[in-house]
Structure 1
Amino acid sequence: MSPILEFRGASVAYGFGPDRTEAVRDVSLAVESGDTLGLAGESGCGKTTLAMSVLRLLPRSAQVTGEVLLDGRDVSTLSFGELRAARWASASVVFQGAMHALNPVQTIGAQIAEPLKLHAGKSAPSATALRRRVEELLAQVELPTARADAYPHELSGGQKQRVMIAMALACDPRLIIADEPTTALDVVVQAQILALLGRLVSERGIALVMISHDLSVLAAACERIVVMYEGNLVEEGPSKQVMAQPHHAHTRALAEAFPVVGDRSFRYAEPHTPVGEPLLSAHELAVTFSDRSGRQVRAVRGVDLEVGRDEIVALVGQSGSGKTTLARSLLGLQKPTSGVARFGGVALPTSRAELRAYRRKVQLILQDPTGALNPRHSVYEAVAEGLRIHGVADDERGRVLAALEAAELRPAEKFVARLPHELSGGQRQRVVIAGALVLEPEVLVADEPVASLDATVRGEILALLLRLRVQRGLSTLVITHDLGLAWNIADRVAVMYRGELVEVGTVEQVLLDPRHDYTKTLLSSVPSLDRRATS
């Protein structure tokens, strides 16, 4: 019996002549029924290009040589009709970024039903049969059947990812390709998604190819890992072996880049004890919203939090825990229902002019640098925008160049004319940081600053935040679901659950000797070789 998927000397190149770029070079690999294969590597290594070649989802500029066999047939020889039949039915893809992959104006049920309709041909199922199948698929991915009538914006990140998996399962494929299926999900939801994929493989006998830059995630979900570097397959083996005894230097770099909570070698700096009055604080702060039915939702419940001078505090918790709402209140973007936020011991102002002046001192670094930057604005325009909003007219160019240098985009002149699509993910994040630094703030509020970055780039950005504290005396509130990030750089950790701070203390107290059950749950959900989703 032939493998479900096989690459025989597969290579992929983009462009022609002097602009030709080899993205994948001479890869040979096979995936059998029931296999779970992890495809690891950093952005640009060719892993997604290789995976997308399976269903000919690459742009027209791509030239594929060698053989890519799906169920024993070379996909390059398939007619359009045969290729359309293979998509969803023989193999399907769970794309990265469920929010962007789902149609915002269609219900979840309609989107899951779409591949069923496409592959039904002339024997289209009745509306009742379609609804029944959609509900079956929702049940398989552990979502309430009532979610069929919901729209994407009404679902959490984990729920949207489950919808993508339900769509991938709709036509009973033999192979699922999951491209970064847990990126930006909190550790508890990530563990649930990995467990779900593992259960589907064991129950249905399908093959799973999972793409990620995070070796720990792949080790938790896959029996076998292959590592790609600059288009080449450089290492292959059982997950435990690749993680514990990597042979290639790049594999070792990937394995060592993601922190182990409790390992002192992953602490980038010794804990810092702030002196004097807190710079930014919340006292009994509460925020309550009304939903569409008029029901009161208590997003933040009587929170006390302090960020001292030159201190880095990590605010951790799952999606929906209230940490971003709390941060918005500290930034003056969300008016508290009760309680008070203070800067330098003084309550935040309420007038528009005073709030604008305050926001020069407390700057936000957004989670998604691609979404934060205007694709039509150059790096210079992106960084200068804050100066123009705040009416800072003196030496604009000098200030912009200084901010780029401080964010370690050097030489700054080399970057000012570039557009966001001409930059790497790490460079885009540095532009966002430069945009905050240009106003010379006293506090940075960083919302998931490394969630979508590769392993080595992640370390570079965190090291940059630490250097900014030393060089500029910056205080930082880091909002994250990543406990490894907190272990890397935080002085103190505040754990948020259902709108409340359930545990606050030094990084060692909270992460090495947790007292609250929720903190223990977060720590136990971090992927490791001892906790395999496929077992």
Structure 2
Amino acid sequence: MSLLELRDLSVHYRGARGEVTAVRSVDLSLDAGQTLGLAGESGCGKSTVAMSVLRLLPRSARVEGQVLLDGEDVQAMSWGRLRAVRWAAASVVFQGAMHALNPVHRVGDQIAEPMLLHGRRSSAAPSAVAELLDQVELPARAARAYPHELSGGQKQRVMIAMALACGPRLVIADEPTTALDVVVQAQVLAVLKRLVAERGIGLVMISHDLSVLASTCDRLAVMRHGRIVEEGPARRVIAEPAHPHTQALAAAFPTVGDPAFRHVTPDDAPAGPVLLRAEGVRVDYGSTTAVAGVDLEVRTGEIVALVGQSGSGKTTLARTLLGLQRPTAGRVLFEGAELPRSSSGLRAYRRQVQLVLQDPTSALNPRHSVYEAVAEGLRIHHVAGDEAALVAEALSHAELRPPELFFPTLPHELSGGQRQRVVIAGALALGPRLLVADEPVASLDASVRGEILALLLRLRRELGLAALVITHDLGLAWTIADRVAVMYQGELVEQGTVEEVLLVPKHDYTRTLLAAVPHHEVPVTD
């Protein structure tokens, strides 16, 4: 008998416009000690499948078919039986640990909560929490911390510890490494693989990144439009994808060093004179040094990738280059002149150097239309000319065409990729010389990621636009960058062309980053 079996599972959502089918006739099974990867883009139905296992879907959902957990139909369980099954028989590691954890409770109390709900004596909870933290490679003292005192990787491990608190046989991990840097991602994946091996649990891993699933899972199932379009051993699905959608997903996450993924061509605009330069920039926060004497330059028409782990100082450096943070020492120059200190001078400078934020959803006002979002910068900077024409031109450059069709649209009516294009259009409306893009594709699906990267290359080629791309994704750097600067503990430890840094790294930290990148190769499994 399988640990988990889905038989002809379909899920429909009732809405104002009628019923929408999110999952269509899915059949899947998983045995104890196995890992199943569920891949697909946003809206394909993979999270709906996962949430149906423990009846965590909203009231608007209507479920057909069977979800069998150890042979028992979850849909037929009473509420009392379902409460007993949740956490104890099966549990979920939710996406976005910061949002899933209660910010005002210590993490030890949150790990203990499911154990207490399932009858564990409160006196025994502290030792059990310490043991769980040890299993996810965290020190016992972490139990006393609040979520904001932990790094992203530590918070994700706390979520895994919570999921294991009541000894379930099945764990469902929904995008457990999204937005984590490559080193922390590798650590979290290693913890999950070790727990499967040591405890014999069944693991369902959900992700839009096939390389993450390939490094973790025995079997892969690929979803599109609510259906399973391909399923099989991970090695075969990755090495010989049969379905065009699987092929597209595999191609969206580049292999560093593979010329097929290198999209910078001889036809791209050559780099010109130095546009932006940092000289000995240092930023201190009290006794903590976030940026320690950095020298960096970006030339006209050049794309520079600034890579490093979370906490390396790259975002603080970017804020300093934008004039949002004053350096403790050193200086920033734009076209040879030091950044102004006056408000009016900085406003004029920021028209030339525009920021593109990581999360387009939080960057856009949910009550403002696309037109208002793009026009806002034009109004702040008192840009002369026909406003509607300037907005339309910016939207066209960002490949939102016909632009007038998008004028009245609100952010929630757009896809993630379209929202990111609106953010880029807002920057382009001011005619900048340089874009500072902070993790511009980290939260996007595989196909959309490729579209945004292609857009950045086209803007460089057609408008001569330079870019400083801040990322923990070495694959992104390999795809579009001319040069790479590697940041570690506030210092730039290595700089050079993409080929020099990523193919022949000189610094141990660069080698560590490259070694942590998930690869498509999958170990042979029985």
TM-score tier after normalising by the smaller chain length: over 0.9
Matches for 1:427-506 after TM superposition, within 5 Å: 427-506=418-497
Relative to structure 1, the CA distance from residue 199 to residue 533 in structure 2 (aligned partners, 3 Å threshold; closer, same or farther) is: farther
Aligned to 1:182: 177
Which stretch of the first structure deviates more once superposed, 27-36 or 80-89?
80-89
Matches for 1:346-425 after TM superposition, within 5 Å: 346-392=337-383, 394-425=385-416
1:94 aligns with 2:85: no
1:194 aligns with 2:189: yes
Cα distance in structure 2, aligned partners of 1:118 and 1:368: 36
Is contact 2:181-2:473 (8 Å) kept? yes
Cα distance in structure 2, aligned partners of 1:406 and 1:82: 56
Deviation at 1:532, TM superposition (A): 5.3
Cα distance in structure 2, aligned partners of 1:522 and 1:91: 34
1:146 aligns with 2:141: yes
Cα distance in structure 1, aligned partners of 2:275 and 2:215: 41
Deviation at 1:366, TM superposition (A): 0.6
Aligned to 1:52: 51
Cα distance in structure 2, aligned partners of 1:376 and 1:456: 28
Aligned to 2:37: 38
Cα distance in structure 1, aligned partners of 2:84 and 2:371: 48
Relative to structure 1, the CA distance from residue 143 to residue 88 in structure 2 (aligned partners, 3 Å threshold; closer, same or farther) is: same
Is contact 2:214-2:521 (8 Å) kept? no
Aligned to 2:327: 336
Relative to structure 1, the CA distance from residue 521 to residue 533 in structure 2 (aligned partners, 3 Å threshold; closer, same or farther) is: farther
Deviations 1:346-384 (A, max 9, x none): 111111221122111111111111121222222222222
Deviations 1:108-145 (A, max 9, x none): 1222122122222xxx623x422222222111111122
Cα distance in structure 1, aligned partners of 2:168 and 2:366: 37
The TM-score with structure 1 as length reference comes to 0.95
Relative to structure 1, the CA distance from residue 384 to residue 114 in structure 2 (aligned partners, 3 Å threshold; closer, same or farther) is: farther
Aligned to 2:274: 278
Is contact 1:90-1:173 (8 Å) kept? yes
Which ranges in structure 1 are unaligned for 5 or more consecutive residues? 291-295
Structure 2 counterpart SS, 1:15:
strand
Cα distance in structure 1, aligned partners of 2:64 and 2:52: 10
Cα distance in structure 2, aligned partners of 1:424 and 1:393: 31
Cα distance in structure 2, aligned partners of 1:274 and 1:341: 23
1:250 aligns with 2:245: yes
Is contact 1:221-1:534 (8 Å) kept? no
Aligned to 2:316: 325
Relative to structure 1, the CA distance from residue 312 to residue 492 in structure 2 (aligned partners, 3 Å threshold; closer, same or farther) is: same
Cα distance in structure 2, aligned partners of 1:194 and 1:510: 26
Aligned to 1:24: 23
Deviation at 1:198, TM superposition (A): 0.2
Matched to 2:395, the amino acid is L
Structure 1 counterpart SS, 2:274:
coil
Cα distance in structure 2, aligned partners of 1:495 and 1:17: 50
2:132 is aligned, of 137, 161, 169, to 137
Matched to 1:451, the amino acid is A
The TM-score with structure 2 as length reference comes to 0.97
Is contact 2:235-2:523 (8 Å) kept? no
Matched to 2:412, the amino acid is H
Deviation at 1:267, TM superposition (A): 1.1
Is contact 1:274-1:308 (8 Å) kept? no
Cα distance in structure 2, aligned partners of 1:195 and 1:512: 25
Structure 2 counterpart SS, 1:56:
coil
Deviation at 1:396, TM superposition (A): 2.2
Structure 2 counterpart SS, 1:494:
strand
Aligned to 2:220: 225
Which stretch of the first structure deviates more once superposed, 5-14 or 414-423?
414-423
Deviation at 1:83, TM superposition (A): 1.5
Relative to structure 1, the CA distance from residue 389 to residue 118 in structure 2 (aligned partners, 3 Å threshold; closer, same or farther) is: farther
Cα distance in structure 2, aligned partners of 1:256 and 1:273: 25
Which ranges in structure 2 are unaligned for 5 or more consecutive residues? none
Structure 2 counterpart SS, 1:446:
strand
